Structure formats: C-alpha cells, structure tokens
A and B are shown apart, each in its own frame.
Chain A
C-alpha cells in the first residue's frame, strides 16, 4: 500500500486532519449496488499516523479508485498532492515495528 511519508508526527497528523476534515466523509456505502444508509459508513480516512522503523511517520494514501468513487475533482487531487504528497512510498509491514502476539 502506498503512504504519504513525513519527517515529523506533527506534519503527518496535519495531513490526517486535512483529509478527515474534507467534506468527503462520511461516505455511505452501497450494498448490492444500492445505497445502504443504515449500515456502517466510512467516517474517516485514517485515525492517526504510524511511526515507521526509520523514525518517519506514515499516512495511508487514498487510492485513486476511492477518489474516483467519492468524486474528488482532479484539481483537488493535484492541490492535495502539492501540499502533502511530496514523499509517496509503497510500504509493507516490514517498514513498521513488529508487534508481539498477546496471549
């Protein structure tokens, strides 16, 4: 999955706050192609940035297919990339700290 990567937690959190503050949310999903307003909506894009093993902070990138679904205009996508997407990387679980399995 692709991520926006930031040097500081504050910068990454600003990205999260911007995305979650857009009018794209909540997103009402569909069920068998029909709007399903009584089902769980998408209420935010990300909860918080994640610290990487490198010490940098990562925010999941919204896939283009999702932006297409929401109907985000290209001008808004370009503006967002200019403001937040200067460092986009394809990261895996190996880039994040390994968690211990709770008993």
Chain B
C-alpha cells in the first residue's frame, strides 16, 4: 500500500506521486482539462462521519462535488481497497449513492468517462447515471456490462473484478473500451448528462437501480480525448489501482505508468 501517497493533501506541491526521486513525475489527469474528477485514494477529498461519506470532492477545480445528506444512504470510506488504495463502498439494500443536481452540473455529448469500479455481483448494479429521471446516460451491470445514453450497448459478460472502463458518448460514434483494449465503436444514443450520480440512482429518481460494490476513481472529460491522452489515462488508472496486468500487451503503458 502506498501510504505516502495519502500523507499530504492532494494539491500539496511536495506530495509524493510514486515516481522515483530524480526521475520524471508520474502523469495524472490534472495534465488534461477535466470536467469532473473523483479519486477515492485522495482521502482529503472525502468528508465523512464515522466512515459514512457525505461529500466526495471534485478534483477538477470545477467544484462539482458529489454529496449525500441522508445518513442511511451514505456510502462508506475506509472499509475497502482496490489495489491497496481506498475505494468508496456502496450497499445496495440501503440505496447508497452520491450525486450532484442537474441544476449545478450538466454536460452535452461528446463526453468521455473513465471509471475504475467493481461490482459484488453480476446482477443489477449502476455505477454512474444522470441525476434526471427523464434522461439517462449510464453504465451498469445486469448480466452484461452495459453503457446507455438512450440506446443500450451490451459490453459482454459482467464480472465482479475491478476494471478500468472507458466510455465515449457521441451518438452513433460512441466508444467502449475496458482495461486499455482498443475501443469498439457503438451507438449508445444521444442523451446528454444532466446531473451526475454514482452508486444508487433510486435515491434520485424512481424507478432506478442500486450498486453493491465499489468505485475507486471517475474522470469525466467534456470533449473527445485524443488516442494518446486516452491511453495515458488508461495507463495512469491501471497502474495506480493495480490493474496493469489487464492492459493488453500492445498498450503503450503496459510496462510502466505514463510520466511527464
């Protein structure tokens, strides 16, 4: 476990980033213009009471913080790790989720979303969605991994392992990739993203699904990333969360995390 990574605030100029002393610094999403960025390993971005999370701060600088004021519906921190780093754990029976309203956060396509997460079963688990009952843009498991923005795109059999998921929402030219695989072009529909919820969406609108599992990091970019930047993000997330073995052999960051 890289405890030193947690020792200083996430914006501290001398925070250790895991790179060798004297060597290049590790690349991170702050090298991009992100619309929203949530990192569960950055403990100072999490507001909690007794381990229950009431706020998960946005690291993008846009202050799109995810919140939950109802105690029973707050997910847990400090109870679960992925790759040795803290992840936010969600309990489906308690409808636990964090969100930001559509009045405060709204993004139109194209949208690139990267999420490191795992579900505890292959049934109905939603990782993220809009915060608007009439318009959904979401990623979930229900036997298969599925992304949808008005049209459902099954991404193959779901499992209970942590993965680096990549989704580009761009109508008929949407992309789906997992663990650094070459993205497939799919038609996910044209819904936009009014508001954002991670974990349970039943809290925000009915009907809706819940999540039994964990979310480690979510990066949202309100543009189409270049292939080079997408691969940097995949490499950053995979190496950070101990998922580099899942990267394909030809991935440019298979053997080492990206640096600057």
Taking Cβ atoms with an 8 Å cutoff, the residues of A that contact B are 1, 25, 27-32, 36, 39-47, 50, 60, 62-63, 65-66, 68-70, 91-93, 95-96, 98-103
Does B148 have its Cβ within 8 Å of any Cβ on chain A?
yes
Residue from B44, B52, B126, B140 in contact with A42 in the complex, judged by beta carbons closer than 8 Å: B52
Residue from B48, B124, B150 in contact with A103 in the complex, judged by beta carbons closer than 8 Å: B150
| Separation of A27 and B207 alpha carbons in the complex (Å) | 29
| Separation of A45 and B71 alpha carbons in the complex (Å) | 4
Whether B94 contacts A1 by the Cβ 8 Å rule is yes
Whether B207 contacts A102 by the Cβ 8 Å rule is yes
Whether B208 contacts A99 by the Cβ 8 Å rule is yes
Task: Indicate whether A42 sits within 8 Å of B205 (C-beta atoms), given known contacts A27-B49, A29-B47.
Answer: no
In the complex, which of the residues A25, A27, A28 has the most CB atoms of chain B within 10 Å of its own CB atom? Answer: A27
Whether B51 contacts A65 by the Cβ 8 Å rule is yes
| Separation of A95 and B93 alpha carbons in the complex (Å) | 8
| Separation of A63 and B71 alpha carbons in the complex (Å) | 10
Report chain A residues within 8 Å CB of B47.
29-31, 36, 39-40
Q: How many residues of B contact A (CB 8 A)?
A: 45
| Interface 9-mer from B22-30, B62-70, B154-162, B233-241 | B62-70
Task: Indicate whether A93 sits within 8 Å of B93 (C-beta atoms), given known contacts A29-B47, A30-B48, A99-B202.
Answer: yes
| Separation of A103 and B208 alpha carbons in the complex (Å) | 10
Whether B50 contacts A68 by the Cβ 8 Å rule is yes
Interface residues in B104-143 by Cβ distance below 8 A to A read: 124, 126, 133, 136, 140, 142
Interface of A is mostly: loop
Q: How far does the Cβ of A69 sit from chain B's closest Cβ, in whole Å?
A: 3
Whether A1 contacts B93 by the Cβ 8 Å rule is yes
Report chain B residues within 8 Å CB of A93.
92-93, 210, 212
| Separation of A4 and B220 alpha carbons in the complex (Å) | 38
| Separation of A60 and B207 alpha carbons in the complex (Å) | 20
Residue from A1, A45, A50, A70 in contact with B70 in the complex, judged by beta carbons closer than 8 Å: A45
Report chain B residues within 8 Å CB of A68.
50
Does B74 have its Cβ within 8 Å of any Cβ on chain A?
yes
Question: With contacts A40-B55, A100-B207 known, what are 17 further pairs, Cβ within 8 A?
Answer: A1-B91, A25-B71, A27-B54, A29-B55, A31-B44, A31-B46, A39-B55, A42-B54, A44-B71, A45-B72, A46-B71, A47-B70, A66-B52, A70-B49, A99-B124, A102-B207, A102-B208
Report chain A residues within 8 Å CB of B9.
32
